[in-house]
Homo-oligomer: A and B are copies of this chain.
Amino acid sequence: MSDQTAIEAKLRQVFEEGVAFNRVLGLKVESFDADAPKLRFDMKPEVIGNPRRQILHGGVISAVLDVAAGFAIHLAASKSRSEEPHDGHFPTIGTIDLRVDYLRPGRGTYFIATGRVVRLGNRVAVAHMDLVNDSGELIATGGAAYMVG
């Protein structure tokens, strides 16, 4: 197993299985694309915010975008250190802040959250995120800043 494959397997395991709240949301890694990694989750009762309208909870959207940003930054940080022997530990990152723009009601059968790293400094990383539904409609966008290293 190559180093990169090992890193991806470990990242998938941490994000999908290791974090209880991600299991509640049902988050799965959809893509390890280096520039725009993706997570996916399905519509289900636990993620609904308005039972009458059957749309996503605003807090689920913010939570998923936060995870998508962290996932993108972990992936970018692990790639940028791929020369060094990998010891199975991921860098500790801490969220500084998070912003979400809610653009359309969260209707759909499944949803894809994408994170893109727009700045990867020695101390601070910034990611942009978006959430689309199974029709490709843009539900929300966001930005987040993290401490890294």
Interface residues of A (CB under 8 A from B): 18-22, 24-25, 45-51, 57-60, 62-64, 66-67, 70, 94-105, 118-119, 123-124, 126, 128, 138, 141, 143, 145, 147
Contacts and interface: CB of A to CB of B under 8 A. Distances in A.
B63 A57 contact: yes
11 contacts: A19-B50, A19-B57, A20-B46, A21-B60, A25-B59, A59-B64, A94-B105, A97-B100, A98-B99, A123-B124, A128-B141
Contact of A59 (B66, B97, B126): B66
Given A67-B59, A145-B145, A98 B100 contact: yes
A51 B23 CA distance: 13
B97 A99 contact: yes
Contact of A102 (B46, B64, B96): B96
Contacts of A20: 45-48, 51
